Amino acid sequence: MSELVEMVMADAEERMAKAVTRARGEYASIRSGRAAPQLVERISVEAYGVKMKIVELASISVPEARQLLVTPHDPSNLEAVERGIRSSDLGLSPSNDGRSLRLNFPPLTEERRKELVRVVRQMAEDGRIAIRNIRRDARKDLAAAESDGDLSKDELERHEKELDSLTQAQEALVDAALAEKEAELMEV
């Protein structure tokens, strides 16, 4: 196998793995009945005169299944973190004990669960599309190598089959993570 083909295949595999990781990260940002630190990590907060993420300002723990505890590293940022959480789209009201914030997650309604499943399915489809786009780019590179004379027609077909099996494997990982998240969302 030529160096060019190895680079194309390695690049495609690495980019597909990143697409799967990104899809899983997006799933984690969807609120199920359980508390997860990823739900608040991305919230922006105005602190020290700049916008910062909560994860940069505070430690986040899960003391109970339906509760998050957000403890700012600097107590003077407690109110800013609280404002950030209140203004987010989570719809949560943190309780402030003077040192930390407790976020209680109420159980989801059946209608909301179904809506969230639809959102997660769309995220999965976006992940699969990203993987297929990577496959398409890699195929273009392989076809260019074949037209330049670096690959024979048979080698091109063999590498395209490898690429297809890699794509199917990565899509299966996205689908498995989707099934897990759907089960978590529909769990009462």
Percent of residues in the chain assigned helix, strand, coil, to nearest 5: 65, 15, 20
Q: Is the pTM of this model over 0.85?
A: no
Give the domains, in start order, of the chain with CATH numbers: 3-29+109-186 (1.10.132.20), 38-104 (3.30.1360.40)
**Model pLDDT for residues 157-181, shown as the tens digit of each residue:** 999 999 999 999 999 999 999 999 9
Percent of all residues in the chain with a pLDDT value above 70, rounded to a whole number: 97
Per residue in 68-99, pLDDT tens?
899 999 988 898 888 888 888 777 788 899 88
Nearest Cα neighbor of 152 from 140, 141, 143, 139 is 143
Measured between alpha carbons, how far is 114 from 74 in angstroms, rounded to an integer? 39
Task: Kindly report the backbone phi and psi dihedral angles of residue 46, in degrees, each rounded to the nearest multiple of 5, phi listed first.
Answer: -85, 110
Query: Whole-angstrom Cα distance, residue 177 to residue 188?
Result: 19
C-alpha 92 chain-centroid distance:
21
